[in-house]
Structure 1
């Protein structure tokens, strides 16, 4: 009788070299994945960067076609679709994912720096340096970079709206009209200042700021929350049918189920109706309980009841008959009901029986409107520390672009205000650190000196890509910046409009200190992981490549 051997047994019979690549081949495998990942995002860098059209899925897992000009969002879109099947590419993307989620900026710069450091590092290894020597040299360079940035940075306060607006405008490196970008950046700066004024410490809670965008709406900042629901969400409540002034607001985050507390129980657990009389009594009591609850809410002064869950039609009918405006099924996003409580100064309750006047919030005005397939309920003039920035656009692509730009700008402006430090942009930090590293490399003894110089060369990849994406010669741009920084770190950067050298401070091109510092740290950490790989094992599977097409092919 023939014996079927297991896959593991057959695999052990094979020569290990059949499913392992080492040394130079392994480095080529890693390098190819890194280069391909960098190629995905390189053309998006800077104010003149391009957009990518990505076939992906939205948060509700519905097919979506998106225009994206940011590395972090591009990676998110790919992972929401088919994902990164290549193990090295997946590792690379995971490395920058934390930066994207925390800072909302600098992801593209981090990817470009990491790619350049990998190229320079692999070249050094091929020239005879051990990967460990390269890693040590890069560590020396990282430490020196921090010192250079310390000298280049300027302080900023949370109430400095001019500087915060510059930070916000710099973050919005997307295809927005100049006047639109300036208007939105000023709104972002004012919002960050208000959030900072309301805080008890130096922390600015951007969760208390909401961004909404839709076609055809007017750009406006609300001192309160605009609650948004899809128009096809199918709530039973009619919402706010007419504007309500000096409104008292109640917020409930659990299902309101009067049947669970009905007293007519005809034996056993749950409601068992064994006779027509029992059914009549049950309905009568249930209606009485609902009407009593509605009357109690009115007596407490409630004008608007906001519920996370969808309410039964019978409950809504009774409440609205009593004069309450009911906004139910406020489920997207779910955190909005808690934002609303913070905005209005109220408290969320889970059980309607627990609601008292102490739990009620207040809004000067509550009004509702339809906006591009959604129903927006605006709670204006609220006493709490919540603000909503609303912006519009002529097309869906412009709407998405504005919403993403404002969301990122809020985070970066808040980061600058929290840290109290900003840097000049336009490639100036990279050029300044590169020039200082190149000058100080001679003080580093041993083979690590080569790695320090390579680190400087890698940082200059940023202004080179910035120039190329803007349509200028990258070699000329890097040469000019080297000359400008030869006598010491300055704020001299590259203008994406003219290709000439500019003073970034004067031009208002400013970024949080932490964004560029974290871009360097994240890139170096990724390289430390990947540069020391000397073998790739792929037992019993075919090793495939990773060659996404770029627009330059």
Structure 2
């Protein structure tokens, strides 16, 4: 059987400088291209999964965990956190959403959708034969330009301007399931953060804001409470007090129950007199602990949860009731720091350290109920170690309550963004279209592959207004064309008004978001796409 061999290319057939040979060699190397395309396909699949959740008219996702728990949400970070993603490149987009959640707290869906769009643009550039490193570097430079343009169109905001802070918080809540309650949740978010900061603050620790969730009533009953709230209930099984005035509060990390040996041993007692002696020693041991607590002046006792043995037993509760000490058990380890700061007391790990100087003081500690939900409220704390805020979140059922808490957390993060970077920009796809047009103009001043890559980056930004229009049931092509036309005429704040289904000036519609949300989304998405482009092989290890 005859075979035909192609003749080798002559020197005349190759272009001068060998550029064509380099390009042909790059295209001929199949494996790196396959790895990149595999990574991009997996990452874009994740982006497409959350794309329908973007914007005020975005769809919600129902998630069932391995334990059978059901979660209904449209928060990008929550959806991706619960998704079973196996592909390593797709997991990078899950981590990207988590990074945006930590940095800004909002825009977790936008950042993944944006990354998916940039990957689509990068794939087209790779097919044109442009080297992945050139694409990654051009995208990084383009992202820096976009952040510049965003900063130019941003409006400075002052923390004393409560109206603008409320607008930003309301815009964040408008895309949530609980958007109809934004008039209640937005002021709570703004006031909570403002209580913790002053004009010199450049950040706020959201761990100082305690959200106590209780099933009962509706989201309308959610309120910012004066004082400190505890979601644990007072132990009343032994008939102890549920209200204490002029409270002296102690947090103990030791157990009010008989000690156990270090190893699992069995003790067999045959003589009832010996048994009686053991019980007597137990009673004496617990009584001495309770007397030491009372001697310090403590009349409200918070007992840390224990995994080794019972934190408190019935005998100890009976003694505490006789000594008129209000007892609350099952305080989690991660709550100790917050409660110590809020109540002005120090955690006590040994009964020998139980002294009056380690106790916090308050005017009143009482167990109250609201819409059938019981909680403990501490009012009039005398010397708190730091500023803290407590918010009571209520809801008709667990699903609504969880989503309400997530939405309130996002609103708190938006206000925190304005503390960190005090600039606002309009939403509704306006900044993306404005940056897209400016970046296209800038791309025309460049030469070579850089111009192609910058133009592709500019086109990829239009995914945000396109998705907003699609999710709202509007015609994306008509709206995007009109939006580009309005921005070309100089209307920088023109965006898609999804409620009216038209393009309008969104600064008058109070659709505002922090600059940090958009700028961090652009930077993080570009960084992730650059990482994926630079991967040319995949090696699983044993």
Inter-partner Cα distance in structure 2 for 1:284 and 1:213: 42
In structure 2, stretches of 5+ residues that fail to align are 1-28, 306-310
Following TM superposition, by how much is the alpha carbon of 1:240 offset from its aligned partner in structure 2, in angstroms? 7.2
Inter-partner Cα distance in structure 1 for 2:159 and 2:237: 41
Following TM superposition, by how much is the alpha carbon of 1:110 offset from its aligned partner in structure 2, in angstroms? 0.9
Inter-partner Cα distance in structure 1 for 2:206 and 2:432: 29
Following TM superposition, by how much is the alpha carbon of 1:143 offset from its aligned partner in structure 2, in angstroms? 1.5
Q: Give matches, 1:481-492, under 5 Å.
A: 481-488=483-490, 490-492=492-494
Following TM superposition, by how much is the alpha carbon of 1:174 offset from its aligned partner in structure 2, in angstroms? 0.7
Inter-partner Cα distance in structure 1 for 2:102 and 2:283: 49
* Deviation larger for 41-50 or 370-379: 370-379
Partner of 1:354: 353
Following TM superposition, by how much is the alpha carbon of 1:195 offset from its aligned partner in structure 2, in angstroms? 0.9
Partner of 2:72: 67
Partner of 2:89: 88
Partner of 1:265: none
| Aligned CA distance change for structure 1 residues 443 and 255 (closer, same or farther; 3 Å) | farther
Q: Give matches, 1:407-426, under 5 Å.
A: 407-426=409-428
Q: Give matches, 1:104-183, under 5 Å.
A: 104-172=105-173, 173-178=175-180, 180-183=181-184
Partner of 1:303: 299
Q: How many equivalent pairs are there?
A: 499
Following TM superposition, by how much is the alpha carbon of 1:85 offset from its aligned partner in structure 2, in angstroms? 1.6
Following TM superposition, by how much is the alpha carbon of 1:246 offset from its aligned partner in structure 2, in angstroms? 3.5
Q: TM-score, normalised by structure 2?
A: 0.83
Inter-partner Cα distance in structure 1 for 2:540 and 2:258: 60
The one-character-per-residue Cα deviations of 1:390-427 (angstroms, maximum 9, x if unpaired) are 23223433222211100121122112112222222222
| Aligned CA distance change for structure 1 residues 54 and 128 (closer, same or farther; 3 Å) | same
Q: TM-score, normalised by structure 1?
A: 0.82
Following TM superposition, by how much is the alpha carbon of 1:185 offset from its aligned partner in structure 2, in angstroms? 0.6
Inter-partner Cα distance in structure 1 for 2:239 and 2:484: 62
Contact 2:303 2:329 in 1 (8 A): yes
Q: Does 2:368 correspond to 1:365?
A: no
Following TM superposition, by how much is the alpha carbon of 1:372 offset from its aligned partner in structure 2, in angstroms? 9.5
Inter-partner Cα distance in structure 2 for 1:442 and 1:21: 32
| Aligned CA distance change for structure 1 residues 270 and 103 (closer, same or farther; 3 Å) | farther
Query: Partner of 2:159: helix, strand, or coil?
Result: coil
Contact 2:240 2:320 in 1 (8 A): no
Partner of 1:56: 65
Counterpart among 46, 52, 56 of residue 37 in structure 1: 46
Inter-partner Cα distance in structure 2 for 1:157 and 1:251: 39
Following TM superposition, by how much is the alpha carbon of 1:531 offset from its aligned partner in structure 2, in angstroms? 2.3
Partner of 1:344: 343
Following TM superposition, by how much is the alpha carbon of 1:148 offset from its aligned partner in structure 2, in angstroms? 0.7
Q: Give matches, 1:347-496, under 5 Å.
A: 347-369=346-368, 376-382=375-381, 384=384, 385-488=387-490, 490-496=492-498
Inter-partner Cα distance in structure 1 for 2:372 and 2:61: 25
Counterpart among 508, 511, 516 of residue 509 in structure 1: 511
Inter-partner Cα distance in structure 2 for 1:237 and 1:252: 20
The one-character-per-residue Cα deviations of 1:178-208 (angstroms, maximum 9, x if unpaired) are 3x211111011001000114x9853312101
| Aligned CA distance change for structure 1 residues 142 and 488 (closer, same or farther; 3 Å) | farther
Partner of 2:23: none
| Aligned CA distance change for structure 1 residues 496 and 238 (closer, same or farther; 3 Å) | farther
| Aligned CA distance change for structure 1 residues 240 and 514 (closer, same or farther; 3 Å) | farther
Following TM superposition, by how much is the alpha carbon of 1:45 offset from its aligned partner in structure 2, in angstroms? 0.4
Contact 2:154 2:515 in 1 (8 A): yes
Following TM superposition, by how much is the alpha carbon of 1:77 offset from its aligned partner in structure 2, in angstroms? 1.2
Query: Partner of 2:381: helix, strand, or coil?
Result: coil
The one-character-per-residue Cα deviations of 1:344-397 (angstroms, maximum 9, x if unpaired) are 222222123212222222333323256899753222343542212123223433
Following TM superposition, by how much is the alpha carbon of 1:295 offset from its aligned partner in structure 2, in angstroms? 3.8
Partner of 2:222: 219
Inter-partner Cα distance in structure 2 for 1:174 and 1:240: 43
| Aligned CA distance change for structure 1 residues 289 and 48 (closer, same or farther; 3 Å) | same
The one-character-per-residue Cα deviations of 1:81-125 (angstroms, maximum 9, x if unpaired) are xx2122321233233322223432122111111111111111111
Following TM superposition, by how much is the alpha carbon of 1:22 offset from its aligned partner in structure 2, in angstroms? 2.0
Contact 1:222 1:380 in 2 (8 A): no
| Aligned CA distance change for structure 1 residues 117 and 489 (closer, same or farther; 3 Å) | farther
Query: Partner of 2:348: helix, strand, or coil?
Result: coil
Query: Partner of 1:445: helix, strand, or coil?
Result: coil
Partner of 2:9: none
The one-character-per-residue Cα deviations of 1:213-238 (angstroms, maximum 9, x if unpaired) are 3332432211233222499xxx7976
The one-character-per-residue Cα deviations of 1:402-454 (angstroms, maximum 9, x if unpaired) are 11100121122112112222222222221221121012211222221111111
Inter-partner Cα distance in structure 2 for 1:38 and 1:371: 42
Inter-partner Cα distance in structure 2 for 1:76 and 1:407: 16
